[in-house]
Amino acid sequence: MGILNATPDSFSDGGQLATVDAALERAVHMVGDGADILDVGGESTRPGSEPVDVADEIDRVIPVIERLVAAIPDVPVSVDTRKAAVAAEALRAGASIVNDISAGRDPEMFDVVSQQGAGMVLMHMLGDPKTMQEDPVYDDVVDDVRAYLDGRVEAAVAAGVKRESLCVDPGIGFGKTLEHNLRLMKEVAEFLALGRPVLVGPSRKRFIGTLLDVEVEERMEGTAGAVAWLGAQGVHVVRVHDVKEMVRVVRVVDAIEKA
C-alpha cells in the first residue's frame, strides 16, 4: 500500500503533494514500482495533531481520488479517513476501501461502508491523535489490541459490513510506547488468528528513529527491517512511503519463504 498524503503537515511528507498533478505523478511512480493499493489521506494523524474540518478534508482528497481512478483504473484506491462523510464522498468518487484509524468510531461509518460494498481497514488507536502518545498504558498490549480488533470486526459485521471485506491493523505508533510497538510486531501472528488479512504501517515511524537515533529522512533501512520481519511473519499488507525499495524487500522475503 503506497501512501499519498494530500496534507500540509504529515510527519514525513507533508506538503509534498500540493497539487493533484503532483499526487498523480507520485502515484504513477508508486504503481510502476509495485504498489498494489494507493492510500489517499487528507488529515495528518501524527501525534499531537489537530483534527481537520470535514469540508477541508473532502477538498483535499476528492480531486486526487477522482484523478487516480480515471488515470490508473486497475489499482484500488483507499481513503485514509475516520469521518463517515469523507468516506462517503471518497467512495462515490471511486475509492473502494476505507482505511479508518478509529475502526468505525464515527457512528455512521459502518453504514457508509456497507451501503457502498467497500472494503475497510479497522485500526487500533488508543484515544485520538492529539493525546494518544501522552501516557499509553495496557494490561497486555498484544491481548488488549487483539481483543479490541476482534470486537470491532464483530461490530462491523453486525452493522452489515461483509466479514470478507474487513482487514485489521494493530496501529503501530498510535498510542503505543517503543516497547508496545516492538511487541506488537514481534507477536503480529496473534492478529492473523482473527481470521482477517492484517495490515501494518511501520514506514518511517518514530520507533525507528528512537532505535537508530535518526531523523525521518534516514529511516528507510529501519523501515526495511520492519517490513522484512512483518512479511516473514505472514502479514498481508504493508503501508509504506518508499514503495520501490520495500517491494524489493518483500520479494526477497517471499522467495526465501517459498524456497
pTM for the model stands at 0.94
How many helices (H) does the chain have, and how many strands (E)? 10, 8
Which amino acid does the sequence have at 257?
Answer: E
Q: Answer yes or no: CATH 3.20.20.20 is held by domain 2-258.
A: yes
Which amino acid does the sequence have at 108?
Answer: E
Q: Give me the residue label for grid cell 512483518.
A: 230
Interhelix angle 109-116/84-92, rounded to 10 degrees, is 20
Determine the pLDDT at residue 16.
54
- The residues that are catalytic are 205, 239
| 14-34 pLDDT, tens digit each | 445 568 998 999 999 999 999
| 223-237 pLDDT, tens digit each | 999 999 999 999 999
